[in-house]
Amino acid sequence: MKSTGLAIWVFLAVSGIGVGCFTVADTLYFHDKGYSTAVIGALVAVFNIAVAVAEIPAAIVFDRRSHWAAIQLGNAIRTVALVIFFLSLGVVGDMTAEALAGIGAAAMSGTSNAYVLNRLGRDPEQQRRALARVAWLGSGASLLGGLVGAALFTVSPRYIWLGGAVCMAAAGAALLLGRRVGAEPSTVAGETLGRYTRGLAVLAVHPRAWMSVFANAALVGPLILWQLRLGGGSLGPILVGFAVMKAAGVLGGRLIGGRRIPRGLLAVLVLGNALAMTVFALSDTSAVVIASFGAHVVAHVAISVYCSAQFQQVVPDSRRAGASSLVSLLGSGLTALAAIAVGFLAATSAIAAMVPSIVLYGLVLALAAGSSLRARGQRAQAANGLGAEEPALLLD
């Protein structure tokens, strides 16, 4: 924290509480309003389309100006979106709020990580630990927020949005008060816009970028269905499921943030995740659904953190936010398509709705296998003095 400052971690914690306030029962809230799974899937798609449209313009502006300003602007827009949700203006209002939330997320998607990573060294292990810390802090804070949100939901379901908005405003105030003047490093001095965008284009086709894209988008099936799988109208099992989800998120972040990572772990995580999602979709017992969902979250967070850390190893500081936003853009576009598919497939069966996620995790494993083979070839070249060695992947 000495390098990054305390304010960014306070921001992440308080905003995480705000996220927990509404994510504990957002799908249940929309279901109780009479929205079908297809409409709920469309809401998720609108959010992700808005993220995709706004990502790169926001990244170009803020990578070349201020990560701090990007975080504050994105947080402010997201707060406005939560207020609109609270006003409960109908499906059009909810679609508008989703679009604004997507724009806000785009403005800050890559910048919070960039804010932290650019203040650290280039050591891959240190970066992985920092990203894991962000993940488990977010999960832990969301767990606390979920307890608050559940209490608010029992008073009035739409209060979950008001609780989120208050926390987002408080997080922004904490980051404002804790800002260290002149502390933000300059990373783009002397780099033209053309060179910057060409650099992003190169990163866009990097296999490690697509590993992260597929990993992030693969969450969509369980994310849309978990509240409905736990009974729909009952808050008790959903609260337990939410607590397990957030505790699993902390465990997943801690798992991959450790100093030593066993070889072959990625394959184990992906295959175990596919099994967990299958059990999650097929079981009608709440305890089994909750346990399998928790196992899925552990695996998902571990996979996502690792893929993100692997990608960040090939990203220069001057394009850190842009590269993260690029991955978010591609992931958001893919998630939008997958969300629509999940919404319609869910009307057929829960197991059918898991197919897009299982396919995406399979693509992560396939890319990792290809990258592992390439890394071995580069190590052999490096041993013979023919080239540089690329960091190895989990499959090595």
Summarised one tens digit per residue, pLDDT across range 352-364 is: 999 999 999 999 9
Say if residues 9 and 152 touch (Cβ distance below 8 Å): no
173 has a pLDDT exceeding 50? yes
Q: Given this model, what pLDDT does residue 122 score? A: 60
- 382 — pLDDT class (breaks 50, 70, 90): low
- Mean pLDDT of the region 274-284: 94
Q: Given this model, what pLDDT does residue 243 score? A: 84
- 393 — pLDDT class (breaks 50, 70, 90): very low
Summarised one tens digit per residue, pLDDT across range 56-103 is: 777 666 666 666 777 888 899 999 999 999 999 999 999 999 999 999
- Mean pLDDT of the region 262-275: 87
188 has a pLDDT exceeding 60? no
More confident residue, 259 or 140: 140
| % the chain with pLDDT above 90 | 33
Q: Given this model, what pLDDT does residue 177 score? A: 86
- Angstrom distance (rounded) from CA 339 to CA 37: 10
280 has a pLDDT exceeding 80? yes
Summarised one tens digit per residue, pLDDT across range 103-136 is: 988 777 666 666 776 666 666 666 667 777 777 7
Q: What is the DSSP string of 39-99?
A: HHHHHHHHHHHHHHHHHHHHHHHHHTS-HHHHHHHHHHHHHHHHHHHHHT--HHHHHHHHH
Maximum average pLDDT range among 35-49, 50-64, 87-101, 190-204: 87-101
Q: Which fold has domain 6-180+195-383?
A: Growth Hormone; Chain: A; (1.20.1250)
CB atoms within 10 A of CB 224: 23
Maximum average pLDDT range among 162-176, 186-200, 221-235, 329-343: 162-176
CB atoms within 10 A of CB 135: 22
- Angstrom distance (rounded) from CA 275 to CA 280: 9
14 has a pLDDT exceeding 90? yes
The owner of tokens 């899937």 is 41
Q: Given this model, what pLDDT does residue 92 score? A: 95
Structure tokens at 393: 């992947």
Q: Which of 172, 147, 170, 160 is nearest to 70 (CA)?
A: 172
- 390 — pLDDT class (breaks 50, 70, 90): very low
- Please, what is the average pLDDT of the chain? 81
Q: Given this model, what pLDDT does residue 248 score? A: 82
- Mean pLDDT of the region 158-187: 81
- Interior CA angle at 22 toward 128 and 47, to 5°? 75
- 388 — pLDDT class (breaks 50, 70, 90): very low
The owner of tokens 């609108």 is 46
* In the chain, where the domains are located: 6-180+195-383
- Angstrom distance (rounded) from CA 119 to CA 182: 13
Q: Which residues of 302-334 are buried (b: 16+ CB within 10 A; e: fewer)?
A: bbbbbbbbbbbeebebbbbbbbbbbbbbbbbbb
- Angstrom distance (rounded) from CA 355 to CA 234: 27
- 250 — pLDDT class (breaks 50, 70, 90): confident
- 200 — pLDDT class (breaks 50, 70, 90): confident
Q: Given this model, what pLDDT does residue 235 score? A: 75
